Amino acid sequence: MALTVTIRKTDVFGNKRCHIVDIAFDTSYPTGGESLTARDCGMDVIDFALFEPSAGYTFEYDHTNSLLLAYVPVSIDAGSETAGANNTIVKTGSTGPLEIAGSGTAFQVAGAQVTSGDSLAALTAVRGLIIGS
C-alpha cells in the first residue's frame, strides 16, 4: 500500500515553493519506510521536509531514497544500571543492554523504527512542511 498525501496549503518562500501536507498511513508499514516522492507532494524536488509528531510517533525524511520513516519511543524496562563511558548509563533488562546519555532522571534515547507490517492507519493527518521546487 502507500501513503495518501493531501496538499492543504501552498505558498512561496523566497525562490522555493512551500506545501503544507497531511499524510495518511496505511495498514502495513514497510521495512525501511514509506515511499514519499517530490511528485507525491506536488513538486519536482524536495529540499526540506519536516513532520510534526503524532500519537507518540516521530518522522524523518530520507532524501536519498525518498522515504518517510516512522519511529516509536524506546521503552526501558526495569533492570540493573551501571556506569558507562562519557557520562552515560548502561541499563540492562529483559531486552538486553541499552546505553543512554544523560544523568539523574533526564535521558536521551533514540526511537526505534516502526516494525515492518505494523498498521499506522490511525495516523490520518500527520502534518508536514515540504520546501522545494
Q: What is the DSSP string of 4-17?
A: EEEEEEEEEETTEE
Whether 67 and 44 map to the same domain: the answer is yes
The yes-or-no verdict on residue 10 having pLDDT over 70 is yes
Q: Which of 17-31, 90-104, 107-121 is the least confident region?
A: 90-104
d(CA 47, CA 5) in angstroms, rounded, equals 17
Task: Indicate the number of domains in the chain.
Answer: 2
Q: Which domain holds residue 81?
A: 77-110
Identify the pLDDT of residue 73.
80
Whether 11 and 61 map to the same domain: the answer is yes
Whether 39 and 102 map to the same domain: the answer is no
The helix or strand, by DSSP H or E, that contains position 82, with its residue range, turns out to be: strand 80-83
Task: Give the residue-averaged pLDDT of 53-69.
Answer: 95
Whether 55 and 35 map to the same domain: the answer is yes
Whether 8 and 68 map to the same domain: the answer is yes
